[in-house]
């Protein structure tokens, strides 16, 4: 099973996932959404807004796979892969121009 790393930034500082998590290709998007929602909930309890934070998910080779803006994780439980951005700002699941 592949290993993925969930790196987080608030726009200024970066928190790099040094351990990673073993997940299937299908489960990595769900894990990213759950992690973002949990970090936002923790921030809410502390009186901190984390909706502007962003997560970059990388594969075990260190290659970034996609980005998730935390604010997008709040929209709906049915967020699809097409709602996630690749590293060029294009939505995943849609053809490149």
* For residue 81, pLDDT beyond 70: no
Cβ–Cβ contacts within 10 Å for residue 23, how many?
Answer: 17
What is the chain's alpha carbon radius of gyration, rounded to the nearest angstrom? 13
Q: What is the pLDDT of residue 74?
A: 75
What gap in Å lies between CA 62 and CA 72, rounded to an integer?
A: 24
Give me the residue spans of the domains in the chain: 3-83
**Per-residue pLDDT reduced to its tens digit, 35-67:** 999 999 999 999 999 999 999 999 999 999 999
């Amino acid at each position: 099973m592949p290993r993925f790393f969930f790196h987080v930034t608030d726009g200024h500082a970066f928190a790099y996932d040094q351990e990673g998590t073993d997940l299937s290709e299908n489960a990595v998007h769900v894990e990213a959404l759950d992690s973002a929602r949990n970090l936002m909930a923790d921030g809410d309890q502390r009186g901190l807004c984390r909706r502007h934070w962003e997560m970059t998910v990388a594969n075990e080779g260190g290659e970034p796979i996609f980005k998730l803006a935390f604010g997008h994780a709040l929209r709906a439980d049915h967020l699809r892969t097409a709602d996630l951005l690749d590293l060029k700002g294009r939505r995943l699941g849609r053809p490149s121009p």
